[in-house]
Chains A and B, each alone.
Chain A
């Protein structure tokens, strides 16, 4: 129990750190999924803690976590689709340059070799 909870906290911390500090969208999406996994693990722990005597787990958080996974999957799919389209149109996936400023987009490290 405790070790699962610590894992959940660690995953959430890692994911949140990645989501905020990484400038590249693809890494942000991966970080979001790590953060999401931490939250889903937390749901499992809550289910175990809330179980009545003799039962394995409280079914409500388990029902919720399935919905949560579906939502996270849909969000990831949409983000990746947008990212692919952006890459196809422009050849890089940076989000931090001003499109109107007319500046030369800096070399991008997401470019395939």
Chain B
């Protein structure tokens, strides 16, 4: 893959015209009933989650959200969840596990919110708890990255059984700008970094980081239909597994790295 088209994917992943998590929820899921709050002092608007039915099956669905108005975007830190957002997601996943309800997580975030308040509320600790607890959650968890998969902030919602990506999405340890500035002290070399980092869906699939890629035409409806085909099939297979088999498979998934 040439550096031009790796960076073109980075730009496409960040584009304002991307399909949003709420669009996917509204079109693919019925009776979405939002559940707010981390039960610990905050309700981070950058994470939206709740109960819904998917092809008649009850599921818990969680998405990152960047907002549409200026006010929303500021409140949502442009889609970068605060520690309370990860705590909310975790409590919803644990509740889903109690009732053996599958979880579908939709991720598009530049990364976890890096502000002072996030540090004080334990951003690192919040992500760590997700990784720890989700590894043991006894229900199928499928993640779709539908834009940027920014580092630990994305991993905290992508550490379940399978991770799928839209064609024009990325998943990386750091932004290419950050990577270039740390290693080469020159953030303008981001396009080059994008290639070196192997952060495109195809490169990630080759490394065994993700299970597959969902075709993404410019038409949102068509994209959502493609997502539906994959999700329905994968979910139907995962719900057949016993809790033991599921967790064994999940641990093996991460052991190989």
Tell whether A pairs with B. no
